[in-house]
Chain A
């Protein structure tokens, strides 16, 4: 318990530092004094103040929310299918969202319809539709069969990826291709206050819900049969997990694109640090995921100003070596 508190405190401290740095770095030269002035004595006429509050802060928050959502979903997913390889995109969320977003890039030249910016909307639609199909094919008589669901998810993902490739092949403009490629690698540049609420509410509800279901989750990691004998309604909890994962992941991916690797790595990291059954695992996992993407976004903007390198590239570059180190440590076991 003490370990968890120290970790949570450390994560919060690092997050604060990350946010401060993120608010300072941008195209307009900014001092920390300006950052504080923008936050506490906001002057709408000042271009730097405006950028800090309306561009940098939403971007940081979106990076944080995306990282937190994906790490949280990844944790649930690994528990749900009881497999160390599981990540939040296992249900076809990422490929479904990619296909949806690609459709909007190819079908609507303006990308807006009656003032609605279409790609996130289509991405959300795509991810939910695909998840639904995976669940239907991966369950029998209302009972989820994790291994079957896993395979259906992988198979369907390949099919959808092929469809995205087909759309790309048929595209007649290089710009459309760039949109799809950019989107599929993830990024936070389009963050704004108006849309931040969706992923925030999705994540917060998920966190609160599973704070109370944490005990069931830990028991489920022991295996479905043992959980059953210990009095957990496995069937019910699996459905709750599934719906939570698809909603939380769907909203994160819709606005930021399918940022890879966070959802696989951060849950393992959390368990390595706190053990498999700590009741603060999910919270720590979400905070660590958020911190990871905030840092990755900072790195991406620092390496490649101003637009930043697609964050998916950075996550893998910096995440994989660390992940390998983690796995090679002797005392880490998945369950």
Chain B
């Protein structure tokens, strides 16, 4: 900016700017030529059009060799399904499995588009609700196909694993993982089938009080774990803000958030009125592993087992 001003001031503006314009134009042309050469190479090795979970049409290589996920749960899925060597990067939040930590980091908030371009993925995977459509549009503009998955239930997560298998030509691997999860899930469900299901309220943030709403995978996980979501009303947001009175009315029997001592010091000293609820009176307040709670990943069954252990 400063340089540009000095050029105009010295009177060399006419020559300078014309020269710059053509230089820029030539650069752009050569860049474009390179780019089109690059994209034409895999084009010959065939693309196919698929529809992702959001109903978007995605045009991706039949045989993606360089893949990555933009969310931690999908990175976990990729490591369960894909050839590990084909996973080219992770985001700053992807920390599982341990092998993921060896991959280069792409910052996803704010999205580092230049780095993404440099990584040259054949396709990137994203979770609905975490990666915005605005980011998706930008990624697509860079010529990188972006495929969205979305989950309303545990079954959706298992279906997501299978669908990754199809997209990456790793059906055997994906189906093995999915089948094994399904078997474990059936066992858990058979074990916890019964009418005595405690009403569980899971708190994600204390001020204001945000909880896991009805329309989250958490409600479904509780079904397998032998409980039920204390929130029965469906709100517009999956993680609604609630009032103290609403929580008093629900009177949950179990609270998931943090351990009793910590909740006593923070949550219940902030909202002493809530000491009246059953969960507090019976000290049924527990901490579970955050990532297992929040990530719709292959570890979902592990998360259910943890919930079940707590509810028992």
Contact = CB atoms under 8 A, between A and B. Distances in A.
A74 interface: no
Contacts of A189: 208, 243-244
Interface stretch (A8-16, A86-94, A110-118, A158-166): A110-118
Interface stretch (A138-146, A174-182, A260-268): A174-182
B207 A190 contact: yes
A49 B276 CA distance: 13
B278 to A, nearest CB: 11
B272 A112 contact: no
B269 A112 contact: yes
B249 A179 contact: no
Interface residues of A, number: 27
A307 B248 contact: no
A179 to B, nearest CB: 6
Contact of B245 (A56, A111, A179): A56
Contact of A179 (B208, B251, B266): B208
A112 B266 CA distance: 6
Interface string A297-328: 00000000011100000000000000000000
Contacts of B243: 27, 55, 189, 306-308
A50 B270 CA distance: 17
A51 B248 contact: yes
B205 interface: yes
A27 B205 contact: no
Contacts of A54: 273
Interface in B198-231: 204-208, 210
Contact of A47 (B205, B208, B249, B270): B249
A22 interface: no
B38 interface: no
B246 A50 contact: no
B312 interface: no
Interface string B241-264: 111111011010000000000100
Interface string A31-68: 00000000000000001001100111000000000000
A28 interface: yes
Interface string A215-232: 000000000000000000
B205 A175 contact: yes
Contact of A110 (B241, B248, B249, B265): B265
Contacts of B207: 105, 111, 119, 179, 190
A182 B266 contact: no
Contact of A306 (B246, B262, B265, B270): B246
A306 B231 CA distance: 12
A112 B208 contact: no
Nearest to B273: A54
B42 interface: no
Contacts of B204: 175
A51 B245 contact: yes
B238 interface: no
B270 A111 contact: yes
Nearest to B262: A110
A26 interface: yes
Which among B242, B243, B246, B269 has the highest number of chain A CB atoms within 10 Å?
A: B243
A175 B265 CA distance: 20
Given A27-B246, A47-B249, A115-B269, 13 more contacts: A28-B245, A47-B276, A50-B276, A55-B273, A117-B269, A178-B205, A178-B208, A182-B208, A187-B208, A189-B208, A190-B207, A307-B241, A307-B246
20 contacts: A27-B245, A27-B246, A28-B245, A47-B248, A54-B273, A55-B244, A55-B248, A105-B207, A111-B270, A115-B269, A117-B269, A117-B270, A175-B205, A175-B210, A182-B208, A189-B208, A189-B243, A192-B273, A306-B242, A307-B241
Interface of B: 204-208, 210, 240-246, 248-249, 251, 262, 265-266, 269-273, 276
